[in-house]
Amino acid sequence: MVRFAVSDTAPAARKVSKQFDTTIQSDCYMHALNLCIGYGVGLKENMRSMQEIDPKTKCRVKRSVVVTQGGEFQEGAQVIRKLRALNKYLLPKFHKLPQLAALIDVDVRVASVVKLFQRSIVNYPAFRAYFQNQSEDQEDNVFASITASEWDLIVEMEAITQRVASLALVESQSASILSSTMYVLLRIASARINSFKFAAYKLDGPRDEDTNERTFSRRELRFDKLSDLGHRCIKRTLHQIAFRLPTPSIQMGMALLLDPRTKKSAKQFLSIPDSADGHTNAILADAEELLRKEHRFIFQAQRLQEKTNNGAIPASTSAPSSPGEVCYIASDDEMDILCGEQVSLQSEQCLTDSVLSAEADALLKKWLDLRIEWADVIKRQYAEDADKRSVVLSKLRTKNKKGESVWNVEELCKHVDVCRWFADEGDQQFPSISKLARVWLGRSSSTAFQERVFFTESFVMEPLRTRTDNERAQQQLVLHHNRKEIEHMENSERAVW
């Protein structure tokens, strides 16, 4: 997939957004994830205007009411405003504290609130040292305005939303992300938010000059230890994830079954909380049936292509050879008895199709039962980077509930290049599966890929867009600043896989 250039300035966003039709809409993952974060931390609210009788004037008046699922969360928005004011102060280089620049929403638009949480927590001792000589009564003492309970709330909100933020910042912005990979990572992130424990920063933990957001120590924070506001943040985030992110479908089941990293765990990823097992089993059964039909078609077309390439007469001009013919020499008298009515072309074609279908089903079963040594795959794909190879290998295995050593699907999706695996191994062993996977896994998560015509703060340039349009990606292809990229695509021959 080619990464097209899209202007991120406000005037360009307004100009481009006016060219879009709003009839057909679909969520862009990066946009949807940012909306989940914004609603979860209280920056966004769903409002509804209601008319009521004023008890004093006895007249009808309009009143705005918060109807966001999960409850109103003004406390989250208030503490974020205080953090923004705090981060306007420059941090001096002393006490051997992390040399991290203060961050405000102008610097980063994607998941900027979570970045604001992380930088503020890591720089907490520096803020405290900077403002220690100022009186708490001074108006410009923005650090003293944030209470201890609000700092605890900041730590809780960061622990709840940090996994969704990492998806928005990294995976959803990758040009090579596959639909099955993104779906798996989203389901894992949703499950972690709905879990009973979180990984939270230690506000008073040790720091040195090399400490940053990734290396700063975390502690286990259990669900029952969260504050009421932390529980509200979880409810709001989960409601948005359930509403905006994709639900299990037959098409997604196809993608999971065609991905060697997820085919063994397809049922677990298709099941969602509070849903009956029968519903999940029905989706998986329909996906397997669709996979069988699609694979038979690809397998037969591939066999026909092989015969044509080998110099055989195409099936469209002659009757296909009947499979299973046995070379047997019989006498004339015996032949008169054995020979009956001539076999029609339709019957012979049915015999051929049945044999090819049986071969295709056998190959598909072999694919579904295939066990891959992912450690060997990692060694080949990271052959030139020994340090990274060691780090990845240490993360590949995990323990299940029974204490058995199993592959970590999340780490496989992050570190294994499945397209390269198909090119190196899968295409030779399963050529028909490889062609089918090329179609289904190559489908991008959204046709509105990587659009940045939205603003992720609570202030918007135009009427708030909560969804992006399918037509937007097509409009971008004809923009002037993409002309050179399009010409390069037309003049070059790109190898598949």
Better-scored residue on pLDDT, 43 or 156: 156
Look at residue 169 and tell me whether its pLDDT is greater than 70: no
pLDDT digits (tens, 9 = 90+) for 172-181: 556 566 777 8
Contact present, 378 and 389 (Cβ < 8 Å) = yes
In terms of pLDDT, which residue wins out, 37 or 468?
Answer: 37
Tell me, what's the pLDDT at 109? Answer: 54
pTM of the predicted model, to two decimals?
0.67
How confident is the model at residue 318, as a pLDDT? 39
pLDDT for res 76: 92
Please report which confidence band the pLDDT of residue 343 belongs to, taking 50, 70 and 90 as the band edges.
low
Whole-number pLDDT of residue 1: 36
Which of 470, 477, 414, 474 minimizes the C-alpha distance to 445?
470
pLDDT grade, residue 372 (50/70/90)?
very high
Supply the pLDDT for residue 410.
Answer: 86
Residue 470: its pLDDT value, please? 44
Q: What pLDDT digit, counting tens, does each position of 355-371 carry?
A: 888 898 999 999 999 99
Contacts of 315 (CB under 8 A, 6+ apart): 304, 307
Q: CA–CA separation, 233 vs 193, rounded Å? A: 10
Neighbouring-strand partners of residue 49: 64
| Between residues 410 and 9, the one the model is more confident about | 410
Predicted pLDDT of residue 489:
65
Angle (nearest 5°) at CA 41 between 35 and 47: 65
pLDDT band of 194, cuts 50, 70, 90:
confident
Q: How far is CA 251 from CA 57, 218, 266, 444, in A?
A: 58, 38, 12, 13
Q: Which residues contact 335 (CB under 8 A, 6 or more apart)?
A: none
Which has the minimum average pLDDT: 62-76, 342-356, 441-455? 441-455
Give Cα separations from 429 to 287, 308, 370, 423, 425 (angstroms).
Answer: 23, 21, 11, 10, 7
pLDDT at 61 over 60: yes
Query: 186: pLDDT confidence band, cut at 50, 70 and 90?
Result: confident
What is the per-residue pLDDT across 247-302, written as a single tens digit (0 to 9) for each?
Answer: 788 888 998 999 999 999 898 888 877 777 788 899 999 999 999 999 999 888 88
Instruction: Give the residue-averaged pLDDT of 78-92.
Output: 76
Burial group, residue 379, by CB count within 10 angstroms (0-12, 13-18, 19+) = middle
Q: Does residue 200 contact residue 160 with C-beta atoms inside 8 Å?
A: no
Which tokens in the block code for residue 47?
A: 């409002």
DSSP H stretches of helix in 425-469: 427-429, 431-440
Residue 404 has pLDDT above 60, yes or no: yes
- Mean pLDDT, to the nearest integer, of 149-166? 91
* Per-residue pLDDT tens over the stretch 102-150: 444 433 455 678 888 998 999 898 888 878 877 666 556 788 889 999 9
Q: What is the mean pLDDT of the chain?
A: 75
Specify the pLDDT at position 103. 46
Task: Give percent above pLDDT 90 in the chain.
Answer: 23
Q: What is the rounded CA–CA span in Å between residue 450 and residue 183?
A: 16
